[in-house]
Chains A and B, each alone.
Chain A
Amino acid sequence: MTLLGRTTVNVVVGVAVLYTLLPVTWLVLAATKDVDALFNSELFGDFSFVENVKNLFAMDKGLYSRWYLNSLLYAVVGAAVSAFISIAAGYAFDKYAFRHKEKLFGLVLAAVMVPQTVLALPLYLMASGAGLVNTFWAVFIPALFNPFGVYLGRVFSQGYVPGEVLEAARIDGAGDLATYFRVALRMLGPGVVTLFLFQLTTIWNNFFLPMVMLSDQKLYPVSLGLYQWNSSATVSPEYYPVVIMGSLFAVLPLILAFMLLQRFWKAGMTAGAVK
């Protein structure tokens, strides 16, 4: 390729990288500034990162750490349970034959299409009938449902678990369930991690359902808590620095998870796109 072509390619990619990185950079810089520097939109102010962190965890009697723990509980536990549920169903769709299998699978795929806003009111009324509104379970249970995970689980099962291995286990006299838990699930390990990562992102992002279900601030996840603080900030500006610092902390776990588990999400996205 010509020199001009090479330069153009690198400049365009460079501009795109700046576009994605600069807002995050701004967030990091803003979190280190004192209030005055923040409002004069100076790029660097007095370095007051530590003070901002203290303010964040002191605001409203330490509500933020409560939200953070809630988010971790909703997302980490929820994503783990969800990953095992989805992979088991995906495996069963792949390895067993039964009547109307493909129709049932079509129903699973159709569920991907249905907007969350459509399900919110009925879910709220159902939770209300069961006395679960404004409890942990109202947010936790619906988040376990991941139909796209079943689709990926089926793809992974096709790729990772050869039929001969299951046949060998059957000849050795192992029951189907024992085979699944002792043999197949181990081979599906990377797939479970991928599904875990996808659902971790989804639940950590979850905003609409908690907004509908929860009225007790102590049950809020970080997303909903910061939303509420931002609304307070429009009246009392002292909330701006805590919202900024709170946002920075809320971004960290996912970035960390993606860096540590890089190869797994790439595997998942490839499987989803190429099939």
Chain B
Amino acid sequence: MRGKLACAVLMAPFFLLLVTVFLVPTGTAIWLSFFAADQPGLGFGPESTVFVGLRSYGAVLSDPTFLNGLGTVVLYCLLYIPLMVVGALALALLLDSGVAKLRSWAQMSLYLPHAVPGIIAALIWLYLYTPGLSPIVDLFAQADIQINFLGLHTVLPSIVNIALWSNLGYNMVIFYAALQAVPREVLEASVVDGAGPVKQALRIKTPLVRGAIVTVGIFTLIWALQLFTEPVLLSQSTPMISARFSPSMYIYDAAFTRNNYGLAAAASVILLAFTVALSYGVTRWTNRKAV
């Protein structure tokens, strides 16, 4: 009895938060998506909120700007996630191979960008993309190469680069920690069997850190689907990024620029469903491959 009370006391603050800043808002988003503010006839009289069922969902799903945003984010994921996972894993394997010099110093340097807040990482890179400010653009110009990092076809890769720069070292440390936990006997046995360092890295070590790869992949996916900070900042300087560039930007625009809460809520629920379905799909797919 006393134990139950103590347990409840220890959990109460967290569950109070869980209810107020997670469960109730999620429920509210779903609730709001079924309602819309209806203008009364001729625009006179107070606005009233009416039940519209799935109308807002229809409006979002038939809105080309939302579908474009969803497409943009899918393309972003396809570019970003493989680069991130392969890059971070490759660096971790190289550092784990035992021949890299100054290992802990290299790790610290690679991790450093993760201590730079997202908006500031985006600011630094925006300036490095801006002609006149950037030594990179200048360098290219001296070699007679005109490059516009914020053009129609370059803006998405430019965003991928910012995200990659911010998170590569962080994920590398996770992979490195997992690699360190690989039993040394297994590695020694593979050497006896005649495996070279490259074969050992790809055939022995990589399969043994599968768990870490899946974890990093899913977390990267969840974060990537929320794409907001980088494009919002870059949109201050390039017309190539519209106010509805990604689903998260679409939600912000619908809620706080157009004040259409029903539409914003429906778009939120669709983004949530999309995130849950993709994460679930990836988990199932990786589990099946293991068998």
Interface residues of A (CB under 8 A from B): 1, 5-6, 9-10, 12-13, 16-17, 19-21, 23-24, 26-27, 30, 38-39, 41, 43, 85-86, 88-89, 91-93, 96, 98, 107-108, 111-126, 141-142, 144-145, 147, 150, 175-177, 180, 201, 204-205, 207-208, 212, 222-224, 226-227, 230-231, 234, 240, 243-244, 247, 250-251, 254-255, 257-258, 266, 269-270, 272-274
Contact = CB atoms under 8 A, between A and B. Distances in A.
B100 A98 contact: no
Nearest to B113: A20
Contact of B173 (A27, A41, A142, A266): A266
Contacts of B276: 113
Interface in B165-180: 165, 168-170, 173-175, 177-178
B124 interface: yes
B226 A274 contact: no
B140 to A, nearest CB: 12
Contacts of A270: 177, 181
A255 B112 contact: yes
Which among A13, A88, A150 has the greatest number of chain B C-beta atoms within 10 A? Answer: A13
A231 to B, nearest CB: 5
Contacts of A10: 99-101
B22 interface: yes
B215 A273 contact: yes
Interface residues of B, number: 96
A205 B117 contact: yes
Interface in B105-160: 106, 109-120, 123-128, 132-135, 137-138
A116 B86 CA distance: 27
A123 B251 CA distance: 14
A212 B232 CA distance: 13
Contact of A5 (B21, B99, B111, B128): B99
Given A98-B7, A122-B28, 16 more contacts: A20-B113, A92-B10, A118-B26, A118-B269, A121-B29, A121-B264, A125-B32, A126-B25, A145-B21, A150-B14, A177-B6, A207-B118, A223-B118, A254-B117, A255-B112, A273-B178
Contact of B133 (A6, A38, A207): A38
Which among A13, A96, A118, A224 has the greatest number of chain B C-beta atoms within 10 A? Answer: A118
B177 A89 contact: no
Interface stretch (B40-48, B52-60, B90-98): B90-98
A30 B90 CA distance: 32
Contacts of B197: 1, 5
A13 B95 contact: yes
B17 A117 contact: no
A264 B226 CA distance: 28
B24 A122 contact: yes
A203 B111 CA distance: 18
15 contacts: A6-B99, A12-B91, A12-B94, A88-B14, A89-B11, A96-B4, A113-B276, A114-B275, A120-B255, A223-B120, A234-B237, A255-B115, A258-B115, A269-B173, A270-B181
B135 A251 contact: no
Nearest to A23: B124
Contact of B229 (A21, A207, A222): A207
Nearest to B197: A1
Contact of B3 (A20, A96, A142): A96
